[in-house]
Amino acid sequence: MRNIRDILRLRLASGLTIRQIKASTKVSVGTIQKLLSRADELGLCWPLPDGLDDNQLAQLFYPSADTRVSPRHQMPDWEKVHQELKRKGMTKQLLWEEHAEQYPNRCYSYSQYCDRYRHWCGLQKRSMRQIHKAGEKAFVDYCGPTVPIVNTSTGECRTAQIFVGVLGASNYTYADATYTQSLPDWLSSHVRMLDYFGGCPDMIIPDNLRAAVSKACRYDPELNPSYQQLAEHYQVAVVPARPYKPKDKSKAEVAVQIVERWMLARLRHHTFFSLVELNQCIRILLDDLNSKPFKQLPGNRLQAFEQLDKPALKPLPKQVYRYVAIKTVKVNIDYHVQYEQHHYSVPHQYVGERLELHASDTLVTLYFKQNQVALHPRKHRLGTTTEAAHMPQRHQKHQQWTPGRLKNWAKDVGPEVLVWITRQLEIKAHPEQAYRVCLGLLNLSREYPAHRLNAACKIANHDSLLRLKQIKTILKSNRDKLPQQLDLSVELPQDHENIRGPHNYH
């Protein structure tokens, strides 16, 4: 259509000959003559009328031409085909065969079927070229392939994950190896990446892996609390890519591909025996990668970083980020929360509430609605850490009792009371189990004089009476006031005038 317009312009406006028009447009002389004859019939002059587009112009010169699809071919429903191909195991071959069975005389060949489907797909989706400002975005992801690391002691082989980060404007790339993709390794890789860049971008764009996003959502994703804390420490915004939208982080996808081909492929014949050794090799290859010239742009990644991203990055904070595990915990009825098999106390009024626990290497801090309510040294063993101020008043009083204090009170009442109390503390598996019964006995000194309580304990010690109610019975029955009974275990004299012996019987 453009040739028709050019031929008319060259003839009607410039006055060129047919041979000159042929040399300019590369159209045959016969075709030019036919077009000019038709133009004379139509009475066309230059410039052409406004609003006459290429299709209308073609219809004027070729009125019998029909560019519509031949009616003998049945056009498949490409939208339905596209949806069917999303099914597991479905192929274009099967869909074409079904279409051919339905329209045996009007179907396309298989090659035409596939070609027209590709053409339809190309019309449905467009890729937008993204413009990345200097210092604005860093994209992060993990490589698919892993690197084996052999334990020299046991021979056990363990795989290492490869973390990749790239800046949007300069494509300056970072990579390191960790054993897992867990939250501590994920965050520590971010810390090393920002240190490698020497500054902080405005945004970090991760994928929706579990360490980054607690709950994936297209519109309002829920970040992992520890990841959010790292973002606040470095004053960056974390904007996860939309689920199943890899083009949102296309920079990371390309960087991962380059790291896999430029670095991991070179290391495939190497055997590594430690994570440090692997990271040393990665760092050497990483410097080579960033110094490698671009294919279609001038310079390399390092030069682009020095010119674009480095001046625009925000400075790093003075303190390096320290990993803090964040967990939501519920306060038990005993006003304690559990973290890694150790129990930590909180003020008793928070029983039943949900608190936010922050655990660093040295401290465990508990928050309720952003307010700190408890702080404990971190314990890495089984046990319980209880602060007296967190207890109810009656529990505090109970906590103040010790075996030594009970024995001192018993000693003041009487020696027999001390003996009974000591025995109670010794027969229990844990002394705390005897506190109640000991306090119950000692509190009897408020109702009975000390000498009576001591006498009652003497009887109990002699008769091995271990129940508190037995001592109470002795006191209520005034048995402790009775004269001391003879000890039946003492042997009585056998020589007496009233005692008969064998010689008195014959």
Residue 130, pLDDT score: 66
Decide the pairing of beta strands 203-205 and 137-142: parallel
Report the candidate in 239, 62, 275 with the shortest Cα–Cα distance to residue 149.
Answer: 275
Domain assignment present for 502: no
Q: Are residues 206 and 241 in the same domain?
A: yes
8 A C-beta contact, residue 180 and residue 150: no
Q: What are the angstrom distances between the C-alpha of 255 and each of 141, 167, 175, 196? A: 9, 10, 10, 16
- pLDDT tens column, 286-336: 999 999 998 877 889 999 899 888 998 999 998 888 888 888 999 887 788
Tell me, yes or no, whether 453 and 330 share the same domain: no
294 within some domain: yes
| Of the candidates 408, 392, 403, 410, the residue with the CA atom closest to the CA atom of residue 428 | 403
Alpha carbon distance 259, 266 (integer Å): 10
Task: Using the predicted structure, report yes or no on whether residue 119 has a pLDDT greater than 70.
Answer: yes
Q: Which of 168, 211, 170, 171 is nearest to 189 (CA)?
A: 211
Indicate whether 67 belongs to any domain. Answer: no
In terms of Cβ atoms closer than 10 Å to its own Cβ (0-12, 13-18, 19+), residue 395 is: middle
What's the pLDDT score for residue 1?
46
pLDDT in tens, 392-407: 776 555 556 678 888 8
pLDDT digits (tens, 9 = 90+) for 417-467: 999 989 988 887 666 667 778 888 888 888 899 989 999 999 999 888 888
Last residue of a domain, one of 124, 155, 178: 124
Strand, coil or helix: what is 269? coil
Question: Which of the two residues, 160 and 59, has the higher pLDDT score?
Answer: 160
* Residue 422 sits in the same domain as residue 456: yes
List the end-to-end C-alpha distance of the chain, in Å, as a whole number: 162
Q: Are residues 386 and 405 in the same domain?
A: no
User: In sequence order, what are the residues at sequence separation of 6 or more whose Cβ sits closer than 8 angstroms to the Cβ of residue 121?
Assistant: 82
Tokens of 485: 């009974």
- Higher-pLDDT residue of 285 and 380 is 285
Under DSSP, the state recorded for 384 is: E
Please indicate, yes or no, if residue 244 is contained in any of the structural domains.
yes
Please give the C-alpha separations between residue 357 and each of 159, 262, 272, 367, in angstroms, as whole numbers. Answer: 32, 43, 38, 6
The residue-averaged pLDDT of 139-157 equals 90
The yes-or-no verdict on residue 237 having pLDDT over 50 is yes
Same domain, 166 and 273: yes
Q: Which of 10-24, 39-53, 241-255, 355-369 has the highest mean pLDDT?
A: 355-369
The reply to whether 181 falls in a domain is yes
What is the percent of the chain with per-residue pLDDT over 70, rounded to a whole number?
Answer: 89
Per-residue H/E/C for 24-71: HHCCCHHHHHHHHHHHHHHCCCCCCCCCCCHHHHHHHHCCCCCCCCCC
pTM for the model: 0.54
Q: In which band, very low, low, confident or very high, does the pLDDT at 198 lie, cut at 50, 70 and 90?
A: very high
What is the rounded CA–CA span in Å between residue 265 and residue 494?
109
State how many domains the chain has.
Answer: 5
Q: Is residue 319 part of a domain?
A: no
Q: What is the mean pLDDT of residues 74-82?
A: 86
| Residue 496 within any structural domain of the chain | no
The residue among 140, 147, 175, 182 whose CA lies nearest residue 161 is 147
- pLDDT of residue 40 exceeding 60: yes
The answer to whether the CB of 382 falls within 8 A of the CB of 372 is no
Co-location of 228 and 119 in the same domain? no
The CATH number covering residue 145 comes to 3.30.420.10
- Domain extent at residue 191: 137-312
228 shares a domain with 295:
yes
Which pLDDT score is estimated for 201?
93
User: Are 196 and 264 in a shared domain?
Assistant: yes
Let me know if residue 100 belongs to a domain: yes
Higher confidence at residue 252 or residue 503? Answer: 252
Residue 189 to residues 183, 279, 321, 454: CA-CA distances in angstroms? Answer: 10, 12, 11, 72
**Which pLDDT belongs to residue 299?**
86
Q: List residues bridging with 365 in a β-sheet.
A: 358, 375
Tell whether 468 and 382 lie within a shared domain. Answer: no
Structure tokens at 425: 């503390």
The closest of 231, 229, 224 to 201, measured between CA atoms, is: 231
192 lies in the same domain as 302: yes
Domain co-membership, 223 together with 255: yes
User: According to the model, what pLDDT value does residue 488 have?
Assistant: 47
State whether 159 and 49 are in the same domain. no
Secondary structure of 235-256 as H, E, C letters = CCEECCCCCCCHHHHHHHHHHH
